[in-house]
Structure 1
């Protein structure tokens, strides 16, 4: 696994051994960042379920102003810190070892607002639904904040029809998909 583009281009990243994390492949990561390209420069990026930190690091490498990495696995936290050191991007990063909901509440209490929120929760456990239901009323989102959820192809997002969040784009791959979500414009 490597950084694809930007100031840390071609640097190899460490990964976590075992099956607890699924690193996003370079091809899928490249597609994701091509979609997000115009929104990355000077953005504040939140990487939930960070794993090795590869997504947030790619965002920083491509011009994000700052990234917050949230992970509750100690080995993953050490991997993120090592990868930030390898890429010389640690000065623009905050690494939080805590539960996702606790991290969101921490960000709210500290007045953080993010331009892009990426999450790659364990598939088919409904964690994205719980987080999205909370984020819909959270102060860490602007109306134009982009939320990207990496999920299995079978993950259903139809529950968002009854919320103030809407899916505006879905990009499917062979084994998973990226779902792009924003707040509806006609809601408060």
Structure 2
């Protein structure tokens, strides 16, 4: 399957159902919401899948993009995709492994934008959102966007995060968090 992102760039994806790329409509909505905040930001892509979200962030000028993906095959494709779109002033890193474990290696870092898109029926939402809050990975003026099913998602609000907006796009929803001032 091929996938196109910002600037009509084509990305590679894995064949089959191993990853579920975020719909173009949802990607477009996300980047419209975060318009004007991507250039020079630090971006974290959790459960990166095809890497389309991180690639789009690079195309739009993110300074640093870090992705976590469990699949070795997907991780290799993400690296290829990001290498294809990154320029000489941008850095990126793909970490392979279970997001619940790998996220701990980011302690001490902060990100302006975090995108978290696990399999909708997984048990990853609560532990990962709690880890983001506990490890203080979200920068003070940053935002976390969580992609989920609008039909099966309990709103999670760790004590240091608050929901700032929610959007629904058909069978996909985005819940946005920010740090409590």
Q: Under a length normalisation based on structure 2, what TM-score does the superposition of the two structures give? A: 0.90
Counterpart Cα distance in 1 of 2:172 and 2:138: 25
Q: Which residue of 2 aligns with 1:29?
A: 27
1:129–1:145 CA distance, 2 compared to 1 (3 A): same
SS in 2 for 1:32: helix
Over aligned residues, Cα RMSD in angstroms? 1.7
Q: C-alpha displacement at 1:153, in angstroms? A: 0.8
Poorly superposed stretches of 4+, deviation over 4 Å: 88-91
How many residues get paired? 178
Q: Which residue of 2 aligns with 1:147?
A: 144
Counterpart Cα distance in 2 of 1:32 and 1:12: 19
Match of 2:48 among 50, 73, 79: 50
SS in 1 for 2:142: strand
Q: C-alpha displacement at 1:2, in angstroms? A: 1.1
8 A contact 1:57–1:89 mirrored in 2: no
Counterpart Cα distance in 1 of 2:46 and 2:57: 13
1:113–1:78 CA distance, 2 compared to 1 (3 A): same
- Structure 1: where are the runs of 5+ without partners? none
Q: C-alpha displacement at 1:92, in angstroms? A: 1.8
8 A contact 2:58–2:82 mirrored in 1: no
* Correspondence 1:156 to 2:145: no
Q: Which residue of 2 aligns with 1:116?
A: 113
More strand, by proportion: 2
